[in-house]
């Protein structure tokens, strides 16, 4: 077996509408097809691929309460455009450049406190 790439992120939230709007506004994700699950949610797509799955809940999550997700990272393009979008939306962002790797990073949080890392490898 070999793991090749991350398929999607699943976020369970009691702030479903706000979280959906955040990902649409900030990352320009688009709502797309989702199976008819017996619980509320959204699948958000980029370039035809569902990469963020949202699940609505009324309260606390029951799974692995001792687990913690620090952040997830997405490869992205359009660094300057993204910085401008985050500024326009008044989203606090931390920028980090790793010169030896030619990597520029942006870190910010969604409405649930989940940290999102965007990695830009533009020449």
pLDDT score at 1:
64
Q: Judge whether residue 55 has pLDDT over 60.
A: yes
- The larger pLDDT score, comparing residue 58 to residue 23, is at 23
Q: Judge whether residue 65 has pLDDT over 80.
A: no
DSSP-H helix ranges across 35-111: 79-88
pLDDT score at 51:
94
pLDDT score at 53:
92
Contact 12, 61 (CB under 8 A): yes
Calculate the dihedral angle through the C-alpha atoms of 3, 78, 71, 52, rounding to the nearest 10 degrees: -70
Domain ranges in the chain are 9-59+69-120
Query: For the residues 60-87, what does the mean pLDDT come to?
Result: 79
Can you identify the CATH homologous superfamily of domain 9-59+69-120? 2,3-Dihydroxybiphenyl 1,2-Dioxygenase, domain 1 (3.10.180.10)
Place 27 in a pLDDT band, splitting at 50, 70 and 90. Answer: very high
For residue range 76-112, list pLDDT tens digits in order: 999 999 999 999 999 999 999 988 888 999 999 999 8
pTM for the whole structure:
0.84
pLDDT score at 68:
62
> Which residue is listed with tokens 């939230």?
13
119: CB partners within 8 A, 6+ apart: 73, 74, 75, 76, 103, 104, 105
Q: Judge whether residue 45 has pLDDT over 60.
A: yes
């Amino acid at each position: 077996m070999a793991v090749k790439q991350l398929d999607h992120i699943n976020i369970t939230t009691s702030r479903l509408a706000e979280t959906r709007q955040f990902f649409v506004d900030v990352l320009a994700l688009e709502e797309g097809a989702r199976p008819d699950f017996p619980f509320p949610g959204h699948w958000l797509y980029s370039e035809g691929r569902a990469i963020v799955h949202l699940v609505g809940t009324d309260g606390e999550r029951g799974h692995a309460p001792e687990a913690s997700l620090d952040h997830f990272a997405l490869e992205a393009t359009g660094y300057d455009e993204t910085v401008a979008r985050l500024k326009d939306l008044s989203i606090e962002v931390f920028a980090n450049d790793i010169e030896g790797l030619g990597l520029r990073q942006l870190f910010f949080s969604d409405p649930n406190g989940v940290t999102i890392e965007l990695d830009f490898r533009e020449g």
